[in-house]
Amino acid sequence: MPEALRLPEVQPAEAADGLWRHTCCELFAGVVGDAAYREFNCSPSGQWAMYDFSAYRRRDSSAPHPPLPAPRISFATAAQGWTLQARLDALALPGVAARHIEIGVAVVLEAADGTLSYWAPRHAATRPDFHRRESFVLRLSDLE
């Protein structure tokens, strides 16, 4: 039932804001023990976004860093569902030299009627809040 989901139109593969307002996959990554983290949004449109946070929901746009490699996104639809693949360069992960990185993954789905639903392996609060570190349930360890 692919018609039940509203998908954004294909766009040039470039950075864009507000992707989370529509069907979008999100990834949150931070070094274990550090309050800072990075958010990646990847849209079926091919657009993406990266945001740095110094702490819970505290955007950090002051820290200049070299341009990071853009995610490479592919999206496919079939009768049974959809597949979005996003490939991130290791340099885009925060603290790439760190040995332990926590990851949170989430999906925002926009129904055909415009309503949004929020999906994640774990919702750490009553309402979905993907920024909560308790929701970063995957670990990357020993990346060397």
Q: What is the pTM of this model?
A: 0.87
Spatial separation of the C-alpha atoms in residues 60 and 88, rounded to whole Å: 20
Please tell me whether residue 3 adopts helix, strand or coil conformation. Answer: helix
Residue with tokens 């505290």: 58
Alpha-carbon distance of 2 to 79, in angstroms, equals: 6
pLDDT tens digits, 12-67: 999 999 999 999 999 999 999 999 999 999 999 999 999 999 999 999 877 666 67
Q: What is the rounded distance in angstroms from the CA atom of residue 33 to the CA atom of residue 42?
A: 26
Half-sphere exposure of 16 (CA within 13 A, CB side): 19
Sketch the domain layout of the chain as residue ranges: 2-139
82 and 2 Cβ atoms separated by less than 8 Å? yes
Q: How confident is the model at residue 144 (pLDDT cuts 50, 70, 90)?
A: very low
